[in-house]
Structure 1
Amino acid sequence: MSSPRDEAVEPGSDTVGPSTSSSSQSDATGGSIISVTIGATVPTGFEHTAAEEVKEKIGVDARISKDRGRIYFPITTDKLYQVHLLRSVDNLFVVVEEYDHYQFKESKEETLTELQQLASKLPWTDTLEVWKLNRTLKKKKGHRKGGNAAKVKPNSDASDAVAADAEQHELPQVSSTAEDQTTVESVPDLETCEQDSQEAAPEAKVIKFRVTCNRAGDKHSFSSNEAARDFGGAVQEFFQWKADMTKFDIEVLLNIHNEEVVIGIALTEESLHRRNISHFGPTTLRSTLCYGMLRLCKPQESDIILDPMCGTGAIPLEGAIEFNSSFYIAGDNNDMAVNRTVNNICHFQKRRADKGSPSGLPIDTVRWDLCSLPIRTSSVDIIITDMPFGKRMGSKKKNWDLYPSCLREMARVCRPSSGKAVLLTQDKKCFSKAISRMGGLWRKLHTVWVNVGGLHAGVYLLKRTAAVSILPLLIHAEGIFPKQEKYSTGSCHD
């Protein structure tokens, strides 16, 4: 009996072999194309947003998992590169097999024995071919460094520690760096990849792997460590691969949520949520969460979009990349935050320029007092920002004064009737009270509940009403940016 270890993966192969290469080019020659299911982890609360993006960009319907923060969708290998262009997903993996109602044994020993036996029964061949093809779509990054990789899925509320070995209790998670993600835009020539593979063949090595288990549910008789250890041992025996916790070539995923079991192979090496940011702050938002917030407000061409508390600039930077027909103004009252934003913008532009792509971005950066913005009244279409939670930044006590003040100022600069705001905060009580004190300036349209670093937060979509503020309206004739004493810019366009 031929097994996947004989035909699917050649030890040490960094790229697609001849058989996969001909298969991936078979559209014109009439060969077969592999159809697989792709799984993706997304920010919890934005599963529907991610499903909408998949439908819009790939043209297939995505299924939302019972386990929050995951979606699944079908794809053929000729369109595999498109999954790396999705902006709403953190990590990607190809599904080997999934069970909606897996019946676990009552005893731990029987369950772990069953997981060991399962490893040799799974249909590995197609998914390993997809894994090899996927490697041709990314720049070779060399081996991972365990200290730089992200930890396990941050949006898993009830997951045990990830494990791939009894001695390994906390492991880095696979995903894709910003450099990896941007190289997908131009798919490398498969013939070149094939030549690289042939040159590397004489120095073929044994494939290195690890198993990561994400488990949620309170009716299991085993831990994540035990499941990953026993399942990983069976995978090692079946394929004759070598286990390596940090410098692995393949990461096998064992996702267990109550009775739902999904086995997959990771397609990303570092989380895609880190794609834009090089200078991090204490509360930097994930780029994938920023994208979800931006889609919620549906930016239109020529909209002026304001982030009055920009921090490291994650929101306006993501917007300028994906919704580049709008203009973004990023500001903060902290010099260090403004500098981080400018550095992130310039770093991203330099990276683009090095790749030969247009580097200009429609962003200006300003230092200001967010309760007295140097912006003309009713001149902003959308306000989108991450408000201080009162945890790492500010305090709950200060929020009671800050929230009403900044909401009034946001209402002043936002266009009546048509203007919108998308605001993220974990201080829900203070925010609701502040909205009620606005005299009808803002109306709540929708709320998305998300997990931000383990905190249950709300993304509030607000609409600016036609009501007139009772505060004096500071009308300036100078334009969007009137003259002021304290004004520093981080403009980085061509």
Structure 2
Amino acid sequence: MFFATAGRGTESFLASEIKDKLKAKISFRDGKVFFNKEGINPKELRTILSLKVAERVFVSIADYDNSAFIYGRRKFLDKIMTQLSGKGMYAEADALVKKTNDIICSQREHFDWESKTLQEKNLAKDKTERSEPEEKRARLEVLDCGSQHKDEPKASAESNRVLSEATYNDHLTFRMSIKCSGRLKKRLDIKRLSHDIGWRIEQASGWKIELRKPNIEVCVHINDEHVTVGVPLTRQPLSQRHYIQDSGLRAPVAWIMCYLADIQSGDIVMDPMCGKATVLLEGFSNWQDAFYLGSDISQCQTNSAVQNIAWSGLRIRGDICVADGLNMPYRNCSADVILCDAPFNQNHVISSTPTMFYKSFLQQIHRVLKPEGRCVLLVSEELISEILTQVLNSMSAGEKINDTGQIHPEVSADSVVTQQMASCDCDDSSNTLEKGAVNFEKGSLQRIHKYRLMSSTQGEESHKGASVAQWLASPLRDLQGAFYYGFEPYHRRLSPTEGPKA
């Protein structure tokens, strides 16, 4: 038996992911998803370690209803000691932890080899570039997403180590980690409870207590309803992606946004307020057959995005540019998917009122999205009702874009779908994130502008060396099919006021 922890409100997404990938029986409650998989093999264990919505995955030692034991301290202690006395569950946990260590060690060796190879290629490339004339290199300041991969990801690989090779054949060492809430929190001496439970586990499992540098932790979660005990498979959370150096948005939430958008092969995916490009990186790492375009009004944020992409080592098919999300420089009906963790006056202050901000933003989204395009916005719960009202009032099948690129607001909506993640049954599709998520499909639009269609070869020849952001910004070009031929991923440094030019 395993259980995985997830952010509140994301349990149903984790349950769906486990069900799809492992075909296991599942149940979930209160930030935890339980699943049973008998006779697990290395392939299935790798699948567990690749879960995208999970924070951490545990081998379950004990899980029982605690509601009958919260009123008497002695009854509670007798129950938990009895539950932790069996030896079979520790043998299973021991075997799974060691299997996980073998997988992680092999992945680390492979990752280190790839990093060394990439560094050697980049060193040779840097020498070649230094031999070129200065005028040629100064013509366009370009940053290749792969050429900046200078730091070995040793911190991630090392921190995700479960066992060291030196202790592989020895007894596992452990320490206790207890979290208690509810009525029992005031009645229990956590320090003494940790000592007593640790002694009982040591006797039953044969593991040794080590407080400073243990191989594993035994985690105990106690509340008025349940007691859950488990051993995490990895030291670091699965949500800490090895390919993201500086995460702005939490990676599981970014993955859920991409999942809701239903990214398809060949889609153009935009994030008009990309920040550090967490959403774009998460999208590309899982849906690689799409083209990703990120922009932000802040030069500092786009620099961070480029550094993140460079550090990841992923050869992303996409572009990063400086642009205002409220005045997107892209042609009408050019994006298949728009993803955005929009500001809502907390970490990032908006210049106008939320009503005016989202009115302008939704108009731009509606203009840039293709007919039947998809958009997923991450917003605060307080703004969901207001944003949905604006969506309903601004979208209609008969809506037109005028010659200035502005939308004629008309009434009624063509298609609006709200995804709300709350604690609910797994089969319930109306679920919503902690901050809330708005996911809607755009109705059909009549195009006023006429675009000159260009073949993929014409597009590649005409725009060799030009950024895809500039390509999309041109009102006389249609990118249909052109980006399949792979513009090299790079970032052109633009001043905050310049933006991509047509």
Match for residue 70 of structure 1 among 30, 33, 38: 33
TM-score (norm 2): 0.67
* Largest Rg, 1 or 2: 2
Whether the aligned pair in 2 keeps the contact of 1:445 and 1:461 (CA below 8 Å) is yes
- Residue 320 of structure 1: CA displacement? 0.7
Task: Give the superposition deviation at 1:132.
Answer: 1.7
- 1:12-411 equivalences in 2 (<5 Å): 37-58=1-22, 60-78=23-41, 79-100=44-65, 103-121=68-86, 123-139=89-105, 179=157, 200=166, 207-215=172-180, 217=182, 222=187, 225=190, 227-236=193-202, 238=204, 239=206, 241-244=208-211, 247-276=213-242, 278-280=244-246, 284-349=248-313, 359-395=314-350, 398-411=353-366
| Alignment partner, residue 416 of structure 2 | 444
Equivalent pair of 1:94/1:127 in contact (CA under 8 Å): yes
Instruction: Give the Cα–Cα distance (whole angstroms) in 2 for the partners of residues 112 and 93 of structure 1.
Output: 23
1:232 offset after TM fit, Å? 2.9
Q: Secondary structure at the match of 2:239?
A: helix
Aligned residue pair count: 385
Question: Deviation digits for residues 229-250 of structure 1, max 9, x if unmatched?
Answer: 5423433455462241x52211
What TM-score do the two structures reach when normalised by structure 1? 0.68
Distance 1:207 1:120, change over 3 A: same
**Residues of 1 paired with 2:158 and 2:223: CA distance?**
30
**In percent, how many aligned pairs have the same letter?**
22
AA aligned to 2:39 is T
Give the conservation status (yes or no) of the 8 Å contact 1:116–1:233: no
Deviation at 1:71, TM superposition (A): 3.9
* Distance change >3 Å, CA 131–CA 289, structure 1 → 2: same
Conservation of the 8 A alpha-carbon contact between 2:159 and 2:236:
no
Distance 1:211 1:119 in 2: 13
Paired residues of 1:47 and 1:64 also in contact (CA < 8 A): no
* Aligned match for 2:473, one of 481, 484, 487: 481
The 2-side partners of 1:296 and 1:111 are apart by: 43
Q: Cα distance 1:55–1:118, how it changes in 2: closer, same or farther (>3 A)?
A: closer
With over 3 angstroms needed to count, the CA separation of the structure-2 counterparts of 1:180 and 1:362, relative to structure 1, is farther
Give the structure 2 partner of residue 459 of structure 1: 437
Moved more, 369-378 or 229-238: 229-238
| Alpha-carbon distance in structure 2 between the residues aligned to 1:261 and 1:177 | 33
Q: What letter matches 1:438 in structure 2?
A: S
Separation in 1 of the partners of 2:196 and 2:70? 15
* Counterparts of 1:396 and 1:102, CA distance in 2: 50
Structure 2: 5+ residue stretches without partners: 109-153, 397-412, 424-432, 453-469, 476-486, 492-502
Superposed displacement of residue 370, structure 1: 0.6
Q: State the distance in 2 between where 1:384 and 1:86 align.
A: 21
Distance of aligned partners of 1:222 and 1:135 in 2 relative to their CA distance in 1, 3 Å threshold: farther
The aligned amino acid for 1:444 is V
CA contact (8 A) 2:317 2:488 kept: no
Partner of 1:425: 379
TM-fit CA distance, 1:73: 3.6
Are the equivalent residues in 2 in contact too, given 1:419–1:464 (CA < 8 A)? yes
Q: AA paired with 1:366?
A: C
Structure 1 residues 105, 407: CA separation in 2 closer, same or farther (over 3 Å shift)? closer
Q: Is the 8 A contact 1:345 1:492 kept in 2?
A: no
Q: Give SS of 1:210's match.
A: strand
Task: Note the C-alpha offset of 1:365.
Answer: 0.8
Indicate the residue corresponding to 1:435 in structure 2: 391
Provide the aligned C-alpha RMSD in A.
3.7
